[in-house]
Each structure stands twice: as C-alpha cells, then as structure tokens.
Amino acid sequence: MYNLIGAGLIVIGAGIGLGQIGGKAMEGIARQPEATGKIQTAMIIIAALLEGLAFGALFLGK
C-alpha cells in the first residue's frame, strides 16, 4: 500500500519535471526554431536523467 503511494508521489514529481522540461523546450523552439536540434538533444538528455532518477526511486521502493 505505502509502496503504491510512494510510486504515485514519484510519478507526480517526475510528471511535473517532465512537463517543465518539455514546456520550456517548446518555448525555446518557438523562440528560436533554428536551434531545434540542439534543444531537442538537451531536452532528451535531461529527461533521461530525470527518468533515471524516477525509475531508481520506483525500484528502490518496490
């Protein structure tokens, strides 16, 4: 039960983080469409780091 609550909290946190990353990346792309490639790469790397953190937490709790 507590595991599930923890997992929910992790997903909320990770969701907020991913939303921030994605949203800011979109803003950046809209502002500077010529930098799309660089922004996407950076976005994916940061999202991957966040994802690693979230998965790590999920599996520590499992």
Partner 1 sequence: METLLNDFSPGLFVVSTILLLALIALMVKFAWKPILNSLEERESGIENALASAENARKEMQNLQADNERLVKEARAERDAMMKEARDIRDNMIAEAKEDAKEVTSALIEKAQASIQQEKQAALAEIKKNVAELSIGIAESVIKKELSNKKDQLELVEGLLKDVTLN
Partner 2 sequence: MKIAQKTIKFLTIALIAVFTANGFASGTDKKHDDQNDGGRVNTKSEVDAYILHHIKDSHDFSFWSYTNDAGERKHVGFSLPIIIWTSEGLVTFMSSEFHHNDDGHVIVEKKGLKFAKIHSKIFELEKGAATVSFDKDHHATNAHKVLDFSITKSVVGILLIGFLLLFWFSRLAKQYKTKQVPTGFARVLEPLVLYVRDEIARPNIGDKHYRKFTGYLLTVFFFIWVLNLVGLTPLGFNVTGQLAVTACLAIFTLVIYTVSGNKDYWMHMLWMPGVPVLIRPVLAIIELAGALIIKPFSLLVRLFANISAGHIVVMSLIAIMFTLKESLGVVGATGLSLVLSFFITLIEVLVAFLQAYIFTMLSALFIGMAVAEPEHH
Give the contact letters, 1-40, x = binds to partner 2 (CB under 8 A), - = no: ----------------------------------------
Query: Are the CB atoms for 10 and 3 separated by under 8 Å?
Result: no
> Of the listed pieces 8-16, 29-37, 40-48, 54-62, which binds partner 1 according to CB under 8 A?
54-62
Beta carbon of residue 33, minimum distance to partner 2 (angstroms, whole number)? 19
Backbone angles phi, psi at 32, to 5 degrees: -135, 85
* Triad 25, 29, 34: Cα angle to 5°: 140
